[in-house]
A and B are shown apart, each in its own frame.
Chain A
Amino acid sequence: MSLFRFSLDQKVINIAGTKIGGQPGEFPTVLCGTIFYQGHKIVEDHDRGFFDEALAGKLVSNQAELSEQTGCPAVLHLYARTMAAFERYLDFADRSWEGPLILDSADPVVRAGMAGLISEVGLADRAIYNSISIGTTEQEAVALEESELDSAIVLAYNPSDSSVDGCMKLLQTGGSVMDKGLTDLCMDLGIVNMLLDPGVMPLGSGAGSALRFSVVAKAKLGWPAGSGIHNAVSAWPWLKGRSTLEKRCCDAAAAAMQQLAGGDFLLYGPIDDADIIFPVAAMADVMIAEAVKDLDIWPVAGHPINRLV
Chain B
Amino acid sequence: MMDQSSGPGTGFDAYKWPPLRGDYVVCDPEGRVAVVTLASHLCPRGAAIYGPCKTENLGVEKVVANIISNSNIRFLLICGQESKGHLPGDALAALHRNGIDQAGKIIGSKGAIPFIENISAEAISRFQGQVEVVDRAGLEDLAEIDRIVLELSLGKEPYPQPPFMVAKRRQRREAVFVMGGDVVLGSGVVLDSGAWMVAEERAQAAKEGV
Binding site for B on A (CB under 8 A): 3-8, 81, 105-108, 133-135, 157, 159-162, 176-177, 201-202, 204-205, 212, 215-216, 219-220, 237, 240, 292, 294-295
Contact = CB atoms under 8 A, between A and B. Distances in A.
B58 A202 contact: yes
Nearest to A238: B21
B85 A106 contact: yes
The number of chain B residues touching the other chain, given as a range, is 20 to 34
Contacts of B183: 4-7, 215, 219
Interface of B: 21-23, 57-58, 83-86, 103-105, 111-117, 181-186, 191, 193-194, 196
Contact of B104 (A160, A219, A240): A160
A135 B182 contact: no
Contact of A161 (B23, B116, B117): B117
B114, B116, B181, B191: most-surrounded residue (chain A CB, <10 A): B191
Contacts of B83: 106
Contacts of B111: 135
Contact of B103 (A4, A160, A292, A295): A160
Contacts of A237: 21-23
B85, B103, B114: most-surrounded residue (chain A CB, <10 A): B85
Given A106-B85, A216-B193, A219-B193, A177 B115 contact: yes
B115 A159 contact: yes
A4 B186 contact: yes
A5 B184 contact: yes
B182 A106 contact: no
A81 B23 CA distance: 24
Nearest to B83: A106
Given A160-B103, A220-B194, A295 B22 contact: no
B169 to A, nearest CB: 14
A3 B105 CA distance: 39
Nearest to A292: B186
B115 A295 contact: no
A133 B117 CA distance: 17
Contacts of A157: 113
The 9 closest A-B CB pairs, nearest first, are A159-B115, A106-B85, A135-B112, A219-B193, A106-B84, A4-B185, A219-B182, A135-B113, A216-B193
Contacts of B104: 159-160, 177
B21 A159 contact: no
Contact of B196 (A81, A212, A220, A294): A212
Nearest to B85: A106
A272 B86 CA distance: 25
Nearest to A294: B186
Given A5-B183, A106-B84, A135-B113, 15 more contacts: A3-B186, A4-B186, A5-B184, A5-B186, A6-B182, A105-B84, A106-B83, A107-B85, A135-B111, A135-B112, A159-B113, A177-B105, A177-B115, A237-B21, A294-B186
A159 B182 contact: no
Given A105-B85, A159-B104, A4 B117 contact: no
Contacts of B21: 204, 237
A3, A4, A216: most-surrounded residue (chain B CB, <10 A): A4
B58 A205 contact: yes
Contacts of A202: 58
B85 A220 contact: no
Given A107-B85, A202-B58, A237-B22, A3 B115 contact: no
A205 B60 CA distance: 13
A3 B185 contact: yes
A292 B57 CA distance: 40
